[in-house]
Amino acid sequence: MRTVAMEQETNPWESQAARFDLAAQKLNLDEGLWKVLRYPNREIIVHIPVAMDNGTLEVFTGFRVQHSIARGPAKGGIRYAPDVTLDEVRALASWMTWKCAVVNIPFGGAKGGIICDPHKMSMGELERMTRRYTAELVEFIGPEKDVPAPDVNTNEQIMAWMMDTYSMHMRQTVTAVVTGKPINIGGSRGRREATGRGVLIVCDEAIRKLGLNRDETRVVVQGFGNVGSNAARLMAEAGYKIIGLIEVGGGLYNQRGIDIEALWQYRQKNGTIHGFPDAEKYAGEDLLLADCEILIPAATENQITSRNADGVKCRILAEGANGPTTAAADEILADKRVFVIPDILANAGGVTTSYFEWVQDRQGYFWKESVVNEQLEHIMKAAFEDVVHYSETHNVNNRIAAYMLAIDRVAYTIRQRGIYA
């Protein structure tokens, strides 16, 4: 029975739906709009034949879910992983709708994924799979329709292949079809660090609100991928004390603070953080419960659950990953008065700078990095203020406040546009 309950708790679609329903109820959302917003507009499943290097033919299953296009083109990443499911992609697509609405940028939400193990595939196999996946989606994506981006196990190179494949079908170069591209083919300066920078900005706002100082603020970061490593580097540079880092296979701890630049260099050289001499080895699950001011889960979903939420000792939980906290854990954290910066706000720096990239591609005019970072800071601070104001006005926690704000904005747009029938 316990296993079934846990499976339900950790199902990302159920988790998203639980928060949506609660926020919609508190907004007294009209029943018709409730139904419209609860389900995606479109779900696409494709089966992709790929010629493997050993001469065999493999068929991979891919998804693209477009949750909403009410406020503009759909926007969302593409992930390559063995455990990708349609439910996960659905949940992530709806989170993207709410995320874009929270930071008030003119996009709806989408998400994509392919069930595969990219670590066991060659570059040639990945390229052929990516190009065929893109070709299958060619009528459904585009600068005015749906703009993909990198996500788990995808990167600038994958985006370059997607952009090229789409461009070949259109018989013209269309840089704005995807974001997260290399800079020399229409990528934006500052995009790579953007999600981590967004985490830094909202943490700055949270410690200001709670009366803390950077140099006395101890931080534990879970995940040293794009989001976690950039958040850790930028926060260490800003004066925060990073005392713990968690990666697959264990963590590192140093109560005096880890030298993040030295760790970064070590990881570049050795391909792992494990064995780094200036911090002690520590169990990852124990580090999640370490005594600290800020905990940043920046890895995968379902890290803080009803099983461990009671042991969390941080004052601020800043969600660098999508869905790291389950709905059941939310209630426990609220009782403990943990200040949660929900994922649809905390990690929105990535999609915000993706929006800047899309704007630059469409203008054909590219901004200096300082301009990108300045615009990002302005949008993230305004969104933080909006969410906290909503939370205090409606007497709800920050997550439900963020959902209420987002749902309100999307519902308002749908009411204005009306339902085409």
E strands along 277-325, which residues?
280-282, 294-297, 316-318
φ, ψ of residue 300 in degrees (nearest 5): -130, -175
- H/E element holding 64? strand 57-66
Residue with tokens 């615009």: 375
Q: Which residues pair with 218 in a beta bridge?
A: 241
Question: Strand order in 57-66's β-sheet?
Answer: 42-51, 57-66, 108-115, 74-81, 146-150
What CA–CA distance (Å, rounded) separates 275 from 200? 27
Q: Is 26 a catalytic residue?
A: no
What CA–CA distance (Å, rounded) separates 317 from 301? 14
- Which one is catalytic: 75, 99, 111, 241? 111
Residues 6+ apart with CB under 8 A from 1: none
What CA–CA distance (Å, rounded) separates 115 from 62? 6
Q: Which of 114, 115, 116, 108 is nearest to 76 (CA)?
A: 108
What CA–CA distance (Å, rounded) separates 142 from 74? 9
Q: What is the 3-state secondary structure (H, E, C) of 66-119?
A: ECCCCCCCEEEEEEEECCCCHHHHHHHHHHHHHHHHHCCCCCEEEEEEEECCHH
Q: Which of 88, 58, 41, 146 is nearest to 420 (CA)?
A: 41
| Active site positions, annotated | 111
